[in-house]
Amino acid sequence: MRYSRASLRQICTQHCKVLLAVCALLLTTLSAPIHAQNTLNEDKAKAVLTFNFIRYITWPSETSDAQTKNLNLCILGEQGLHNAFKALDGRQIRTHQLNVINLNMNAGFENCGLIFFGIRDRRIITQLLDELYGEPVLSIGELPDFTDRGGMINLYKEDGKFRFEINLKASESANLNISARLLQLARVIE
């Protein structure tokens, strides 16, 4: 059977399209677990960093007994982020026992000593930070303008590593005392 050049070109084009579609499908299927693993590792790193931040922050003595004995670490974000933080549940820091709480948008944050903002909606973040202003609640986020909006600690990546900045004015307004050792490691915003 002889094929003309035009028909051979058409057959090759069709085979190439099918081959490209199969390759794209394989790449998508194979890269999804890698992306999920990277996200999981990043979420675990955020949990560890948060735990270490807590070690260098003192809450004011005028907070309620419930907050001085138990420190509610509230997570506002996806389930994967909450799962990474769940490893901290029950851990002891000085006189505090950490309770990790998955916070939803409708729940109040009156009992939170710390909120990790794992959401991206700037309007909601700004609204919540405005409500928290002056309250002894540590706020940690991960948006480029989180501290500009009144957040206290912002995580960001630089050269593939997590770094953080601290909004000193926001933490002072909440009467949270941040250790000089932690401030030395941070980019401080006043």
Expressed as residue numbers, the domain containing 103 is: 40-189
Q: Which one, of 111, 110, 133, 129, lies nearest residue 119 by Cα?
A: 129
| 125 falls within a domain | yes
| Summary mean pLDDT of the chain | 81
| 166 falls within a domain | yes
| pLDDT value for 99 | 95
Of 102 and 7, the one with more pLDDT: 102
| 50 falls within a domain | yes
Rounded to an integer, the average pLDDT of 153-177 is: 96
| 49 falls within a domain | yes
| 135 falls within a domain | yes
| 26 falls within a domain | no
**In which band, very low, low, confident or very high, does the pLDDT at 87 lie, cut at 50, 70 and 90?**
very high
User: pTM, whole model, 2 decimals?
Assistant: 0.76
Q: What is the pLDDT of residues 103-154, one digit of tens each?
A: 876 767 788 999 999 999 999 999 999 999 999 999 999 999 999 999 999 9
Q: Output the domain CATH number for residue 159.
A: 3.40.50
Beta bridge partners of 114: 73, 138
> Could you tell me where the beta strands, DSSP code E, fall in the chain?
57-58, 70-76, 92-93, 96-102, 114-117, 138-141, 153-158, 161-167, 177-178, 187-189
| pLDDT value for 25 | 34
| 87 falls within a domain | yes
Question: Is residue 68 over pLDDT 60?
Answer: no
Q: What is the pLDDT of residues 20-46, one digit of tens each?
A: 333 333 333 333 333 344 555 899 999
| 77 falls within a domain | yes
- For residues 81 and 54, the answer to whether their CB atoms sit within 8 Å is no
Of 40 and 85, the one with more pLDDT: 85
How many domains does the chain contain in total? 1
